[in-house]
Amino acid sequence: MLPPNPTTAPHGGEAWREDVALERIADLLGASLLSTGPTGWGDDAAVLERPKGRVLLCCDAGVEGVHLDASLFPIADLGYRTAIAALSDVAAMGGRPLGVVVSICAPGDVDVVAIEQGVAAACATVGCTVVGGDLSKAAITSVTACALGEEPLQGAIPRSGARPGDVLSVTGALGGAAMGLRRRRAGMGLEDPELRWFRRPRARIDAGVAAARAGATAMLDISDGLARDLRRMAAASGVGIDLDDVPLCDGASLDEGLGGGEDYELVVAHRDAGALAAAFESASLEAPTRIGTVTDLVGEVRYGGAPAPDLGWRH
Amino acid sequence: MLPPNPTTAPHGGEAWREDVALERIADLLGASLLSTGPTGWGDDAAVLERPKGRVLLCCDAGVEGVHLDASLFPIADLGYRTAIAALSDVAAMGGRPLGVVVSICAPGDVDVVAIEQGVAAACATVGCTVVGGDLSKAAITSVTACALGEEPLQGAIPRSGARPGDVLSVTGALGGAAMGLRRRRAGMGLEDPELRWFRRPRARIDAGVAAARAGATAMLDISDGLARDLRRMAAASGVGIDLDDVPLCDGASLDEGLGGGEDYELVVAHRDAGALAAAFESASLEAPTRIGTVTDLVGEVRYGGAPAPDLGWRH
């Protein structure tokens, strides 16, 4: 936790400079974090209230040059998108986030406060806060967000529970992140709304909770592209998947919808698509779109009757 | 969590290669992690049992070239030492670790399984397991370990609770990590036992629990060097500190003891050093060493009657 172990003494510490950055971060995140006694910023670990159920723990990394092209996007986006990736993993289990800690490794001239602002902004979209973290010097910038979540009362929804005959549905529309990246690379202005799917993805916490409440049999979030993530669900569940529809964001191509990744929508398997839709409706959420069915052809993911393309590799 | 969001599709994914590494890691960590239903490896988040008390959450990063000189030490050491840094933060609150997730960012030719082995070995020393993580491609290697802990029944011990008149004690002996690094740089063989303080530090979980049970007023772990970490305790507590002794590892210099960092011993403030020693004895732990007292000279850390040197900068 901040401040321990940033750039440690045996290696040429710059811990005091880190302490200054930490003070700015604590200011940014608000005095509330500092007024909670032994918890949060400035101590060894954050203290969080005891959860009602079992806990969910996950982490995701974002790396400059891999997950973010710093010549095209502000560095704060790396913080935002990495935090959403971790929060989305909580959503994919049907849980609610309790808090996030973030580790930032960056060269001395990188605006780590901006990265932290990105993380905090992402957390705020799901009513969660950044409770601590760590700063380290590094030759390139990377961010790891670790999210703590609360398991749903119905139990976490694994990706391994899909059974032949289940209906597969997806929240929202796909391909928006890949489309946004493509448009930015082609010169679209940074503030164009079409880039929002890439720059400001959503973690579908409420949808995950609704799916768990409705009795979903399996769920995962689309982080690496629909086709690839469905292969993972099929492998984990020991089933096959027949895909017959892919809801696309306006302007996204089918390839982007099938293979784009980073959409962070949820794929839900359920015995009864009507019951799932009803649960979403009662939670005032847009109904998920039916995209296919679960089959007994173990490991086979088909689209339109043929093997689904192995998209994701080619981007 | 593994496997989501490793090297995502919009950026040129290598997710299948990651899946192979993950399988090797899962094999390494044992089938127990795979047999726990919706929990652990291969799903979006790990599911852990509900803790008895409030939870502790913290993370620490280790970066090649900053925390590890890969020309002198095997890359597995980065995993081991980073995990200990995070577990030590749990110890410094008086807690017990419940689980660790680890994010590894590394070039394609780095042995990520070896790093994970290092993390797993460190966790095993305190009876805890790696419950999940994330792998990403990156130009340089970095590791972030995030530890979830259980708050002690007495409440987490902050660094802000020291009061004038408290006795300060430290577990173990100091300077061993800096000494080990110095000796390795001077050509000492990698397997020499003198390097163990640097390569295989301990997270003092049992000592932290004993200190919490004994009613410690403040506690932190020595990650950045005794002098610097005491300044943090003094600042957080609004007190001064008079240091009159520094227990040194055999062969460590006073500078290494005061400023070396990464020793991960615990500094404990307590009203009654005798009661603290008795609690350690009843837990079959070596008694901590009295190193000084807490004063009312706000922010002043003195050693031998003079301002303590600001070591850590010069290494």
Q: Are residues B120 and B194 in the same domain?
A: no
* Angle value at C-alpha B135, between B129 and B140, nearest 5 degrees: 115
Interchain proximity B10–A261, CB inside 8 Å = yes
Torsions phi, psi of A121, nearest 5? -65, -40
Q: Tell me the average pLDDT across B33-37.
A: 39
Asked whether residue B275 carries a pLDDT value surpassing 90, the answer given is: yes
Tell me which of B121, B150, B179 is where a domain ends.
Answer: B150
Give tens-digit pLDDT for A239-271: 999 999 999 999 999 999 999 889 999 999 999
Q: How far apart are CA A172 and CA A221, in angstroms?
A: 12
Whether B74 and B128 share a structural domain = yes
pLDDT of residue B19: 66
Distance between A314 CA and the closest CA of chain B, angstroms: 7
Specify the pLDDT at position A41: 62
Among A8, A18, A36, A230, the residue to mutate for chain B (most B Cβ within 10 A)? A8
Band of the pLDDT at B53, cuts 50, 70, 90?
Answer: confident
In this prediction, residue A49 has a pLDDT band, given cuts at 50, 70 and 90, of: confident
* Chain B residue nearest residue A146, CA to CA: B146
> Do the Cβ atoms of A136 and B67 come within 8 Å?
yes
- With an 8 Å Cβ cutoff, are A224 and B13 in contact? yes
Contact B148 A13 (CB under 8 A): no
Q: Does some domain include residue A4?
A: no
Mark which of A150, A176, A211 sits at the end of a domain: A150
pLDDT, mean of residues B146-154: 95
Cα distance from B76 to chain A (closest Cα, Å)? 18
Distance of alpha carbon B4 from alpha carbon A65, whole angstroms: 18
Residues A260 and A203 in one domain: yes
Confidence band of A53 (pLDDT split at 50, 70, 90): confident
CB A105 within 8 A of CB A137: yes
Does A313 sit within 8 Å of B131, measured CB to CB? no
Of the partner residues A90, A159, A224, the one whose CB lies closest to the CB of residue B5 = A224
Contact B228 A15 (CB under 8 A): yes
* Closest B-chain CA to A177: B10
Closest to A32 measured CA to CA, from A149, A131, A150: A131
Give me the residues of A, 204-233, that contact B with CB < 8 A. 220-221, 223-225, 228-229, 232
Average confidence (pLDDT) over B125-143: 94
Chain B residue whose CA is closest to A56: B47
How many angstroms separate the CA atoms of B116 and B102, rounded? Answer: 8
Which tops the pLDDT comparison, A189 or A4? Answer: A189
Classified as helix, coil or strand, A104 is strand
Is the domain of A135 the same as that of A176? no
Percent pLDDT > 90 in chain B is 78
**Which percentage of chain A shows pLDDT scores above 70?**
87
Residue B26 and residue B69 in one domain: yes
Residues in chain B: 315
* Nearest neighbour of B136 by CB, restricted to A66, A90, A137: A66
A107 and A201 both lie in a single domain: no
Lowest-confidence region among A24-38, B117-131, B210-224: A24-38
pLDDT at A149 over 50: yes
Min mean pLDDT across A38-52, A158-172, B207-221 is at A38-52
Length of chain A: 315
CB contact under 8 A, B92 and A313: no
pLDDT at B15 > cutoff 70: no
pLDDT at B36 over 50: no
Question: Model confidence at A81, in pLDDT bands (50, 70, 90)?
Answer: very high
For B198, the domain range is 167-307
- In this prediction, residue A310 carries a pLDDT of 77
Lowest mean pLDDT among B41-45, B133-137, B140-144: B41-45
CATH number at residue A79: 3.30.1330.10
Predicted local distance difference test score (pLDDT) of residue B28: 67
Q: Is residue A140 part of a domain?
A: yes
User: Higher pLDDT residue, A130 or A24?
Assistant: A130
pLDDT (tens digit, 9 = 90+) per residue, A106-148? 999 999 999 999 999 999 999 999 999 999 999 999 999 999 9
Of A102, A125, A150, the one marking the end of a domain is: A150
- B68-87 residues touching A, CB cutoff 8 A: 85
Average pLDDT over residues B107-128: 95
Q: Is A299 on the interface with B (CB under 8 A)?
A: no
Q: Is residue A226 part of a domain?
A: yes
Is the Cβ of A59 closer than 8 Å to some Cβ of chain B?
yes
Let me know if residue B213 belongs to a domain. yes
Dihedral sign from CA coordinates of A97, A49, B162, B258: negative
Top residue of A50, A54, A57 to mutate, by most chain B CBs within 10 Å, is A57
How large is the average pLDDT for residues B259-270?
Answer: 95
Is residue B85 domain-resident? yes
- Same domain flag for B23 and B87: yes
Residue B18: the pLDDT is 64
A160 has pLDDT over 90: yes
Residue-level pLDDT at B32: 40
Span of A18-32, A149-163, B3-17 with lowest mean pLDDT? B3-17
Q: Which of B66, B69, B76 is nearest to B104 (CA)?
A: B76
Same domain (yes/no): B293, B174? yes
Worst-scoring range by mean pLDDT, A53-57, B86-90, B301-305, B309-313? B309-313
When divided into structural domains, chain B yields a total of 2
In B156-248, at which residue ranges do the beta strands (DSSP E only) sit? 167-170, 218-221, 240-243
Q: How high is the mean pLDDT of chain B?
A: 89
CATH number of the domain where residue A192 is located: 3.90.650.10
Residues A130 and A173 in one domain: no
Let me know whether A23 and A109 are in one domain.
Answer: yes
Q: What count of CB pairs under 8 Å joins A to B?
A: 355
Identify whether B162 is part of a domain.
no
A161 located within any domain: no
Q: What number is the average pLDDT over the span A197-216? A: 98
Write down the pTM of the prediction: 0.91
Asked if the model's pLDDT at residue B31 lies above 50, the reply is: no
CB contact under 8 A, A44 and B13: no
A178 chain-B contacts, CB cut-off 8 A: 9-10
Q: Which of residues 100-119 of B touch A (CB under 8 A)?
A: 101-105
CA A126 to mean position of chain CA atoms: 12
Cβ–Cβ below 8 Å for A15 and B224: yes
Asked if B92 and A2 touch (Cβ cutoff 8 Å), the reply is: no
What would the DSSP string read from start to end of B4-50?
SSSS-GGG---HHHHHHHHHHHHHHH-GGGTSSTTSSTTSSSEEEPP
Contact B57 A259 (CB under 8 A): no
Please check whether residues A21 and A63 belong to one and the same domain: yes
Same domain, B129 and B181: no
Chain B neighbors of A141, CB-CB under 8 A: none
Q: Which residue has the higher pLDDT, A14 or A189?
A: A189
Q: How far is it, in rounded angstroms, from Cα A130 to Cα A159?
A: 27
Query: What would the 3-class secondary structure string for B135-181 be?
Result: EEECCCCEEEEEEEEECCCCCCCCCCCCCCCCEEEECCCECHHHHHH
Distance CA B224, CA A18 (A): 12
In a domain, B156, yes or no: no
Question: Is A9's CB within 8 Å of B261's CB?
Answer: yes
